[in-house]
Structure 1
Amino acid sequence: MIPVVTDDGATLHVRAYGPADAEPIVLCHGWSCRIEIWNPQINALAGRYRVIAYDQRGHGRSTLGKRTPSADVLGDDLATVLDASLRSRKKAVLVGHSMGGITLMAWASRHPDQVRRFASSLLLANTASGQLAQELNILSLGSLVPRIQSTVGKYVVGAPVAIPRGIVTRRAFHYVGLAPQADKEAVDFCHRIVLSCKARARGQWGWALATLDLTEAVEAMAVPTVVLTGEQDRLTPSVHSLRLAEALDRTGMLDKLVVLPGVGHMGNIEAVDAFNDEIVRLRSRRRRPRRLGAAG
């Protein structure tokens, strides 16, 4: 474990796997998750890479601290983690899923010096730069005006209440989080992790995510970036990833847009091999980013 304490006293649980002198990969998990959500990536990659993962503030074994949850806090926490964990001159591939992708965007915007110093490339998976509440695809809200839809969405993700256990909750989680054809083992694994998140942290972070706007942060992502989405993602529908890809294409930093067919929000669990292949490809890449029209 790598000891990390933020300026406001939050303790961040950081783990490193694999050879200390290997090329680094940093994993930032999503809302209501924890380090273990990266097990398929850690198990596959730690044999030849230095894989660093941490529990986001208020999640897993990390404490919530005194600062009010926000995108700025996510970015600053990542900066603290990188300062503590990347001691070699080797640059890392940084991977962010969902809220973890938001973390990367906020970090790039607030710490551009670290982008140049620590990052070789980025992978934004199942994420968005804003308008999360307006574009949730989990309720039949299509007939509602945007303001009402946004309000409903904020209260759906920001309610600080415990998630009851049971088959109904599990079915609802499957509907929201994974594609209909996701296997039982994947659904159960993700469901257990989300149930472990404390209600207060989940609610505070949910509210913060529902109201964020990181549209301008894309300009600060000055390294080759993969944008990855699931074709059947309900939490961050593909429209978000297409928007990010177009913005990155304009800056010349889009490496590739990846749309995983038959996959929901949990791309790193539902399509492990395809997800890991993109990380390995980024880790070994030497070419300049391609324009959007040429992305596969």
Structure 2
Amino acid sequence: MPVIDSHGCPLDVEITGPTEAPVLMLSSSLGTTKHMWDPQMDAFNAKYRVVRYDRRGHGKSGVPKGPYDMEMLGRDAIAIMDGLKLDKINWLGLSMGGMEGMWLGAHAGNRIDKLILSNTSAHYADKSMWHARMNAVGKAGSVASIADMVINAWLTKDFQTAQPGTAARMKEMMIATPVDGYLGCCAAVRDMDHREILKNIRVPTLIIAGSKDPATNIAAAELIRDAIPGSKLAIVEAAHIANVEIPDEYARVVLDFLGSK
């Protein structure tokens, strides 16, 4: 797995799939690593050269002191594209990965063939939730302090009961996130406002929303769809980390869009 330097921050990158296939680049949720996408890798690798990575502050990537912002995180993605000599990619980002995708679509649309923005939001008008979350993590010195609350937004109660091992692995992934990295990324989400740039996205775009997602609801997805010319909205029966909760259906929705004209 290569390590790509982005403005002094090492980013851990994994590349799989056929060498000559079109590239699908994956960006995950706050508090997860590239392994969030494990449920889709067989399906994606069958048709695409898949690039996934740990964003700064997460997994095996560097943890520079925050705060971070969306431009910084978007430029990390561009640094990976440049480092791997990728002129164009398809982008699939979930939650925070979708926020990065909006920035990329508006500022580096020439690098993107198709854009998928999953379980995400363009803006948080009420910052109090982010302040409270950051205060709790900072005071405790661990992401474990909010893990129970967050996992209940990530995955429905029914899924957690039916698939306790998967739910436990997702919770462990969250708790392992370095505090400085988590707080740095929380600041980026808290301060983000993509509403004015959405109209500048001109690449084919799909928005995926979970009908049971309390973190980024259907109204947030509809706002993005209405602002991006020609974009489409797919609603799936899942909570926030939709790709983990409904892995096969999620892969089908993504691949159908990527394969469409």
CA–CA distance in structure 2, aligned partners of residues 74 and 164 of structure 1: 24
CA–CA distance in structure 1, aligned partners of residues 129 and 144 of structure 2: 20
Q: 1:139: which partner in 2?
A: none
1:100 aligns with 2:80: no
Which sits farther off after the overlay, 232-241 or 62-71? 62-71
Q: Say if 2:225 and 2:233, in contact at 8 Å, map to a contact too.
A: yes
CA–CA distance in structure 2, aligned partners of residues 67 and 265 of structure 1: 25
C-alpha deviation, 1:86, in angstroms: 4.6
TM-score normalised by length of structure 1: 0.80
1:51 counterpart SS class? strand
Q: 2:144: which partner in 1?
A: 164
Q: Which amino acid aligns with 2:6?
A: T
2:116 counterpart SS class? strand
Q: Which runs of 4+ in 1 moved over 4 A?
A: none
Within 5 Å, give how 1:219-258 maps onto structure 2. Answer: 219-248=199-228, 251-252=229-230, 254=231, 256-258=232-234
Q: 1:271: which partner in 2?
A: 246
Q: 1:79: which partner in 2?
A: 78
C-alpha deviation, 1:170, in angstroms: 5.9
1:181 counterpart SS class? helix
Q: 2:117: which partner in 1?
A: 124
Percent identical across equivalent pairs?
22
Within 5 Å, give how 1:149-228 maps onto structure 2. Answer: 150-157=127-134, 159-160=137-138, 161-164=141-144, 171-182=148-159, 183-228=163-208
Q: Which amino acid aligns with 2:216?
A: T
Q: 2:39: which partner in 1?
A: 40
2:251 counterpart SS class? helix
Q: Say if 1:218 and 1:247, in contact at 8 Å, map to a contact too.
A: yes
Q: Say if 1:72 and 1:106, in contact at 8 Å, map to a contact too.
A: yes
1:22 counterpart SS class? coil
Q: Deviations over 1:222-268 (max 9, x none)?
A: 111110011111222222111111112xx22x0x211112x110011
Q: Say if 2:92 and 2:117, in contact at 8 Å, map to a contact too.
A: yes
Pick closer, same or farther for the CA change 1:180–1:33 going to 2, 3 Å: same
C-alpha deviation, 1:66, in angstroms: 6.2
Pick closer, same or farther for the CA change 1:86–1:268 going to 2, 3 Å: farther
Q: 1:293: which partner in 2?
A: none
C-alpha deviation, 1:206, in angstroms: 1.0
Q: Say if 2:66 and 2:181, in contact at 8 Å, map to a contact too.
A: no
Q: 1:289: which partner in 2?
A: none
CA–CA distance in structure 1, aligned partners of residues 147 and 30 of structure 2: 17
Q: Say if 1:129 and 1:213, in contact at 8 Å, map to a contact too.
A: yes
Q: Say if 1:74 and 1:107, in contact at 8 Å, map to a contact too.
A: no
2:91 counterpart SS class? strand
Q: 1:24: which partner in 2?
A: 23
Pick closer, same or farther for the CA change 1:50–1:152 going to 2, 3 Å: closer
Q: Which amino acid aligns with 1:125?
A: S
C-alpha deviation, 1:104, in angstroms: 0.9
Q: Which amino acid aligns with 1:178?
A: L
Aligned-residue CA RMSD in angstroms? 2.0
Q: 2:51: which partner in 1?
A: 52
Q: 1:292: which partner in 2?
A: none
Q: Deviations over 1:16-60 (max 9, x none)?
A: 001111121110111111111111122322133211001101111
Q: Say if 1:122 and 1:224, in contact at 8 Å, map to a contact too.
A: yes
How many residues get paired? 255
Which sits farther off after the overlay, 73-82 or 275-284? 275-284
1:260 aligns with 2:239: no
1:284 aligns with 2:251: no
CA–CA distance in structure 1, aligned partners of residues 241 and 220 of structure 2: 15
Q: Say if 1:174 and 1:180, in contact at 8 Å, map to a contact too.
A: no
Gaps of 5+ in 1: 135-149, 287-296
